[in-house]
Every structure is written in structure tokens, then in C-alpha cells.
Amino acid sequence: MYAPTGVKTSTDYPIPDTMKAWVLGDPGELLFRDKPVPVPKKAEVLVRIDAVAICATDLEIIYHGPPALILGGMPHNKNFTPGHEYMGTVVALGPGVDEYRIGQRVTVEIHAGCGQCKRCREGMYTACHNYGLNYGDVDKGHRANGFTTDGGFCEYQVNNINTLVAIPDAMSDEEATLVVTAGTAMYGLTELGGLVAGESVVVTGPGPIGLLGVAVARALGAHPVILTGTRDNRLKIGRELGADHVVNVRREDAVAAVRRLNGGKGVDYVLECSGAPNAVNEAVRMVNRGGKVCLAAFPHEETPVDIAEIVRNNIYVYGIRGEGKSATHRAEAFMSQKRFDATKIHTHTFPLDDLPTAIRYAKDRVEDAIKVVVKARGVSAAHKVAAE
């Protein structure tokens, strides 16, 4: 039975020596294997994973590799376990850890910066200069679970205490997996200025981050909040999450519609979550002079940008990676206070041993799946579960 030296455990939460884990083989190939349960070091805990949400970036990693970086290269065929949007229960404490207790429910951030480089010391741990340098025997302190170290498509995982966010018992497992998504939206709005009450905001792209971007902007007091996209059903959910106006860009020019809906002038902020090739230039034309644009999506190709438009109009453009600057804590506070209902974007739940089906639903948008959650316990392996 699991009993590493210096690690505190409890008989209330027995831990096996090995666990079931999905391992990435060739591109698109996931294998269900046994792996050793990892051991927490100083300032780390072992989390029993209860639920994991599937992110579009997981799909990129599984089928293409980047932005994962394992042993200096592509993650395929390296005994690597992907998955990063997970929550669970603390079941073991590394040496000296007293910030959390065994049995405490937590959700997790992806990134723990090295704490040593220039960016980490500025609080920008998602831009750590030692990104990817601690898989295997090389340990520079940084870890990005599911990107540069093993992730959450398994039964147990190690997390640095700085990545943990305590959650209330009233919050469901499924909702807790969405804190990171809301945290990414919160980070984007933080970088745009943070205090957006009374400011006009456009969110482009009604994917999970965009939809929760609407919710967070509304909770922060932005007005009006405008959501643009191509799918009416997603735009409808955006309305339910607080959008004052929605624009289907297949039926109406996005820039013209935004200006019309904001009294004939551009908005103060744009949170770009679509990754579409024309999205950056459209965002730049949506804001007023001196406005700000935050890019929160990964385009799949190089994108031409009208720099002259940016310079002439004194527009600020920011890029964000992940959920930095403790944004997940602020997002969790909003969710605990019921300032918005993140579960509106959760559509399907599958058991861990049926991960390939869950991946297919997320990848192919089967039954219009938005956020698909995988649970390590409590779900029948025989059937998928559609969210209420």
C-alpha cells in the first residue's frame, strides 16, 4: 500500500501503489494503462481526481502534440498522460505541507511557475521562462499539468499547493472543473484593466472561454456586453449568461453590428476567444480609440494584422496564456457566490474508462457538445450522461 517516506496520508483515504491512467501513444491514440501513483514532494499534495473537463487544447495535444512539451519534444509515445482541467480531493500531503488538509475538495490551476525566473517573480507564472524543463529527472520547479508533466486523465495526480483552489461542498464536481475556464476569462479581463464596471465589452467566439467571458464580464458590471459567433444555440446560452446583445456573424457584419449596438461607436474592450483568421483585425476595428483587445485563443495559422489601424488609433493588444495571476481564485469566488451559472456550458459526462468516446463527443461536437466532463467515479460505464 502507498506509504512514501515523509508523505502524510490517512486511513480514511487509502491510496493504491498503482492507478489507471490514459497514456498518449501515436497521434490520436489513447491507451488505458497502469501507472505508479505519483509522490508529492515539498510544497505539493496528491489529489485524487474526481472529474476532468475536456479542453480544446487537450484535443490539439492528443492529435497534434503542441503546445505540450515532454522531454524537449512532442508528447507522443512517451508514457505521457494528458488532461488539465480537473478537480478532486486532497489525499496525501508532501513534506511540510499544512496549507491544505486531507479530505479537502479542490480544483486546480494548470501552471505552477518555477518561482525563480523574472516572469514568475512578476506574478506571470503562466509565462514562466523555465516552461517545460522539469519532465523526468530535470526539475526547475515549473510544471504545467497536462502540458509539460502528466495531467489528469487518470486517478491521482500531484499538484503544487500554489495551484490549488479550495471549493465549497455545495459545488458539484462538474461545476468545479469549469473554474479554470472561468479563470482564463477572468485573466483576460484582468489584463484589460480589471475594473470594467460600466465599460462596454465584446466577446468574440461562444466557445467555453467566450461564454464564461460573457458571464464574468457581466458579473464585473460591464455594460453592454456583446457576444458574437456563428451558432445560434451557443449565442442563446450567451444570452442566458448575461449578454445584452448577440450577433450571428454569418448573417450580419460583426464590426458594423457592434458599433450599431453601442450607439454608433466602438467598444472599450474586446475579449477575442474565437481564434478565427480575421478575428484580430475585426477586434481592432470594434474598439474605440484607446480601446483594448485581449487575445485568448490560439489561431491555427499565421494571421495578417493591420498594424497601421492599431497605431493610428492608439489601441492596446494583449495576449494571455491560461489562467494566470491567481484569476482562478477570483472566478471561483464568483461561482461560489452564484454570480453566474457556469454549468450552462456543461453538456455531457462520461466515465474515465470511456474517455475515447468523451473525446469524440468534444472533438466532433456530437449532440452539440460544449463542455464534456469525465468522472473517475460515480458514473456508469454503460452510458453517457447528458447534462440537465
CATH code of 313's domain: 3.40.50.720
How far apart CA 304 and CA 327 sit, in angstroms, is 30
Establish if 213 belongs to a structural domain.
Answer: yes
Instruction: For residues 156 and 94, state if they share a domain.
Output: yes
Query: To which residue does cell 453592454 refer?
Result: 224
pLDDT score at 136? 62
In a domain, 347, yes or no: yes
CB burial of residue 138 (10 Å; 0-12, 13-18, 19+): exposed
The answer to whether residues 388 and 344 touch, using CB atoms and an 8 Å cutoff, is no
What is d(CA 73, CA 68) in angstroms, rounded to the nearest whole number?
Answer: 8
208-219 and 232-240 helices cross at what angle (nearest 10)?
30
Is 230 within the bounds of a domain?
Answer: yes
Of 13, 320, 321, 331, the C-alpha closest to 176 is 331
Domain count, the chain: 2
The contacts of residue 291 (CB under 8 Å, 6+ apart) are 266, 267, 268, 269, 270, 313, 315, 316
Cell numbers placing 365: 461536437
Residue-level pLDDT at 388? 46
CA distance 53 to 366: 16
Domain shared by 154 and 263, yes or no: no
Give CA–CA dist 224/200, Å, rounded.
5
* Model confidence, pTM: 0.93
Q: What is the pLDDT of residue 137?
A: 61
Res 132: pLDDT: 79
Do 153 and 248 share a domain, yes or no? Answer: no
Q: Any bridge partners for residue 48, and if so which? A: 89, 156
Same domain, 295 and 351: no
Q: What is residue 209's predicted lDDT score, i.e. its pLDDT?
A: 97
Q: Are 353 and 374 in contact (CB under 8 A)?
A: no
Do residue 68 and residue 22 come from a single domain? yes
Provide the residue range defining the domain that includes 315: 181-319
Q: Based on the fold, state whether residues 233 and 190 are members of the same structural domain.
A: yes
Supply the CATH number for residue 61's domain. 3.90.180.10
Same domain, 162 and 185: no
pLDDT, averaged per 10 consecutive residues of the chain (388 residues), comes to: 93 97 98 97 96 97 94 94 98 97 97 92 91 72 90 97 96 97 95 88 97 97 97 97 98 97 96 94 97 92 93 96 91 97 98 97 96 83 49
Three-class secondary structure of residue 5 per DSSP: coil
- Are residue 162 and residue 36 in the same domain, yes or no? yes
Q: What is the DSSP letter of 117?
A: S
Q: Mind spelling out the 3-state secondary structure of 281-338? A: HHHHHHEEEEEEEEECCCCCCCCCCCHHHHHHCCCEEEECCCCCCCHHHHHHHHHHCC
Q: How far apart are CA 168 and CA 95, in angstroms?
A: 26
